Structure 1
Amino acid sequence: MLQKMQKHLEEHFSFVKEKKLLLAVSGGIDSMVLLSVFKKLALEIGVAHCNFQLRGHDSDADALFVKEQAQALQVPFFLQAFTTEDYANEHKVSIQVAARKLRYNWFAEVLLRENYDFIVTAHHLDDQVETFLIHLSRGTGLEGLVGIPAKNGNIMRPFLEISRAEIEVYAKENHISWREDASNASDKYVRNKIRHHIVPVLKELNPSFLTSFQNTLAHLQQAADLVTDSSERIFEKVALVEKETIKIDFKKLVRYDSYQAYLYQWLKEYGFTAWNDIYNLLEAQTGKHIFSSTHLLLKDRDFLLLSPKNKGEEEKVFYIEKINENLKFPLNVSLCKTDDILEPTNNSIFVDQNKLSFPLVVRKKQEGDYFYPSGMKGKKKLSKYFKDEKYSLLDKEKQWLLTSNNEIVWVIGKRADQRFLAQSNTKEIVKIELK
């Protein structure tokens, strides 16, 4: 297996020869073989071990075993103990999820602190099979069936083309010591049930099952690449990205037979799960919307508008206490005295200081708002102004107003109120600017 691994690294991970590699070593057979192989390949390595403190004395014994093995090989060793059950209870996640988060967060810290380039794990081909079947049993898109990536950012998994049987043969031939985790024999966890009861049947039905599975994964990955290429091409035709908002022209989108699949590809990374509700949104009335944990998807006339959820800004107000005081958030607005009146623009207006009552307030729209738009006669409801200017529902929610005594001075970045504008006889002129 050493020759097979060396060839595999040369073909797919040739860059590691000049890198520092942090090996995740639990003490089990897979990770101990990983340590042996990488040591024999003369790569620059360190060993990281997590003690999740879930099995009492056995957990401590695992940590001591890995430490002794690393010291015998004269390899840097890093150890971290976690109160995993407390973390799981506090964050309301399973023990497995808690352990995964704790493990990879700590690995990232060690990488940064000790100047390692990659984390290396001992996930192998049988792990691929088990992960595939877990995802299949729970329901997943194509991305859930393509398997564990061999490289994902700074995480490497060089054993993914090596079977558990090959690892066991290597361990026996090279007299590798390892620790057995008693929980691996239990059917308490889904992965163990699949490992003990389903995979053996598949291997019995097809002695070449692992080879067939690898071929299937390769075909699935090719299909996933095709889907990605197609979805990116269609996105460019039917969608626009404007700052934090994605506008999807659904009238163009529905001309494609697979429009639902494209929506799934575009929206899955934003935390949406109610796919039937999303597909029905195309036929819904304007204003209908769906939330994920982080984003809002809104039906607005001819578009679906995707934007980050407003984090309560509509309920907030921001104050400008005096002249020459700049507001930095939520907008960069400045006030300063000036002697000249220039033509107003979207980003600057000139007002009469004596008509302002401090503090000025920056806020969102309220029921009953009206103002006297510059260049027009008389007052106008803000809602009517929004309609005439063809504001989308999302635009309305995002528009900030500068007010004095709760009267609109400026629809910021759009239109000033005629009542506050400086005139030729104004003695104290204030320039208000959106930077």
Structure 2
Amino acid sequence: MSLDLLQNIRRHGFKRLLLAVSGGLDSICLVHYFICNKERLGIEWLGIAHVHHGLRVGTADRDAAFVEAFAKAHDIPFFLKKLDGEALKNAEGSLEENARDARYNALQEAAENCNAIVTAHHAGDQAETMYMRLRRGTTLAGLKGIQEVRDNIYRPFLNVTRAELLAYARENNLEWCEDESNSDVKFARNKVRHEFLPQLEKECPGAAMQLCRIALLADKAYAKVMNASESLFAPVLKAEKADADLRQHDLKAGIALDKKKLRKVLLAHESTDLSEMFRLWLSEQGFRFPIGFFYDQKEPAHVKIPVRAAYRKRAIAKNGSTVRICEFESVEAALKFVSCK
């Protein structure tokens, strides 16, 4: 796998990287690969970060000590981030999502002056993500799966299978830690990993790699859709600053659209359904709304802009010649905004 990965990694031109290392097989292969190929990749600085979630007794301390010892043995700067496990358990939402969000926040804190945070997500993780999204229902955006590069997170192993990583580890006599929580099927992803996907693979050999292929194709298609959407909707953006009325509603972010220009675009494509393109375009601007939020078969291009509506912390409102789309600090602020005239 060396030659293919070298070419792919070098094209990004990263110079300073923080490697997220849990101590498991995947991340140990990741850090070993980058250490061995540092000069050939043109990397000037490597750091290792380990996040201790505070959720496992005993083995979590073992993993942290193992990664720290690995970093010292290879003379790599080491950063340990400890989280409040009880707070993660008691927070609203799923423990998996809470832990993931807290982990990435901790990694961002350690990644100051780095080009990217590198994680060891591989083809198996991609297949699991695709399976979970398809099972619950998703859109073209969701079919893209895990992105190789998103914001400052880089995942170079997405096309590498776990079998290939295991072979690499054995070839290089690597040792790693086993996280017992990864086998606990009460967590949704673990159930998919250990039960659903193996059964699918048994019935349809090669299914996991096909899921990865779908993600790759969807990613390419999505880029083309976004290019077309940008050419349609970017010209209707208005350069406006938030007024005092918006600021007092705890506005986090917002954009303004020229209502007449938008109407003209929709009329020019009145026989085409642009509702999903419009929704996806808004998502790329940072304003996510549910599927069908803007759909109305009777409207030009099937796009219906609500006069006033809120979805979670986001709101949309027509005001004179302007359509305002906003993100607020709270659900209450969004509801308050749409209730005002």
Q: TM-score range by the shorter chain?
A: 0.7 to 0.9
How is 1:161-200 mapped onto 2 (pairs within 5 angstroms)?
161-200=159-198
Give the structure 2 partner of residue 104 of structure 1: 104
Distance 1:175 1:88 in 2: 37
Offset of 1:65 from its aligned partner?
1.1
Deviation by residue 1:2-22 (Cα, 9 ceiling, x = unmatched):
xx2343232343455x61221
Give the structure 1 partner of residue 28 of structure 2: 32
How is 1:115-264 mapped onto 2 (pairs within 5 angstroms)?
115-236=113-234, 239-243=236-240, 244-248=255-259, 249-250=262-263, 252-253=265-266, 255-264=270-279
Give the structure 1 partner of residue 247 of structure 2: none
Query: Residues 48, 285 of structure 1: CA spacing in aligned structure 2 closer, same or farther, 3 A cutoff?
Result: closer
How is 1:247-326 mapped onto 2 (pairs within 5 angstroms)?
247-248=258-259, 249-250=262-263, 252-253=265-266, 255-268=270-283, 269-273=286-290, 275-276=291-292, 278-280=294-296, 288-299=307-318, 305-308=323-326
Amino acid at match of 1:161: N
Give the structure 1 partner of residue 73 of structure 2: 72
Offset of 1:311 from its aligned partner?
8.7
Query: Residues 227, 69 of structure 1: CA spacing in aligned structure 2 closer, same or farther, 3 A cutoff?
Result: same
Offset of 1:167 from its aligned partner?
0.7
Q: Percent identity?
A: 33
Asked which structure has the greater RCO (Cα within 8 Å, sep 6+), the reply is 2
Match of 2:174, SS?
A: coil
Query: Residues 286, 233 of structure 1: CA spacing in aligned structure 2 closer, same or farther, 3 A cutoff?
Result: closer
Distance 1:205 1:46 in 2: 42
- Name the one with the larger strand percent: 1
Query: Residues 235, 256 of structure 1: CA spacing in aligned structure 2 closer, same or farther, 3 A cutoff?
Result: farther
Distance 2:327 2:211 in 1: 41
Deviation by residue 1:22-57 (Cα, 9 ceiling, x = unmatched):
110101110011111111113532211011110111
Give the structure 1 partner of residue 335 of structure 2: none
Query: Residues 240, 47 of structure 1: CA spacing in aligned structure 2 closer, same or farther, 3 A cutoff?
Result: closer
Distance 2:27 2:176 in 1: 9
**CA contact under 8 A between 1:85 and 1:95: conserved in structure 2?**
no
Query: Residues 79, 282 of structure 1: CA spacing in aligned structure 2 closer, same or farther, 3 A cutoff?
Result: farther
Query: Residues 86, 192 of structure 1: CA spacing in aligned structure 2 closer, same or farther, 3 A cutoff?
Result: same
Give the structure 2 partner of residue 373 of structure 1: none
Query: Could you tell me the TM-score, scaled by structure 1's length?
Result: 0.63
Distance 1:188 1:21 in 2: 34
Give the structure 2 partner of residue 381 of structure 1: none
Match of 1:305, SS?
A: strand
Structure 1 gap segments, 5+ residues each = 313-393, 398-435
Offset of 1:226 from its aligned partner?
2.2
Distance 2:221 2:147 in 1: 15
RMSD: 3.1
Query: Residues 137, 207 of structure 1: CA spacing in aligned structure 2 closer, same or farther, 3 A cutoff?
Result: closer
Match of 2:61, SS?
A: helix
**CA contact under 8 A between 2:123 and 2:160: conserved in structure 1?**
yes
Query: Residues 111, 236 of structure 1: CA spacing in aligned structure 2 closer, same or farther, 3 A cutoff?
Result: closer
**CA contact under 8 A between 1:25 and 1:47: conserved in structure 2?**
yes
Deviation by residue 1:153-204 (Cα, 9 ceiling, x = unmatched):
3221111110011111111222211111111112111111111122223333
Distance 1:210 1:105 in 2: 30
Offset of 1:75 from its aligned partner?
1.5
Distance 2:12 2:329 in 1: 43
**CA contact under 8 A between 2:295 and 2:304: conserved in structure 1?**
no
Distance 1:309 1:281 in 2: 27
Amino acid at match of 1:305: V
Amino acid at match of 1:289: R
Give the structure 2 partner of residue 53 of structure 1: 54
The structure whose Rg is larger is 1
Deviation by residue 1:49-72 (Cα, 9 ceiling, x = unmatched):
011110111111111111111112
Amino acid at match of 1:11: N
Query: Could you tell me the TM-score, scaled by structure 2's length?
Result: 0.78
Distance 2:32 2:207 in 1: 28
**CA contact under 8 A between 1:271 and 1:294: conserved in structure 2?**
no
Give the structure 2 partner of residue 13 of structure 1: 10
Query: Residues 242, 292 of structure 1: CA spacing in aligned structure 2 closer, same or farther, 3 A cutoff?
Result: farther
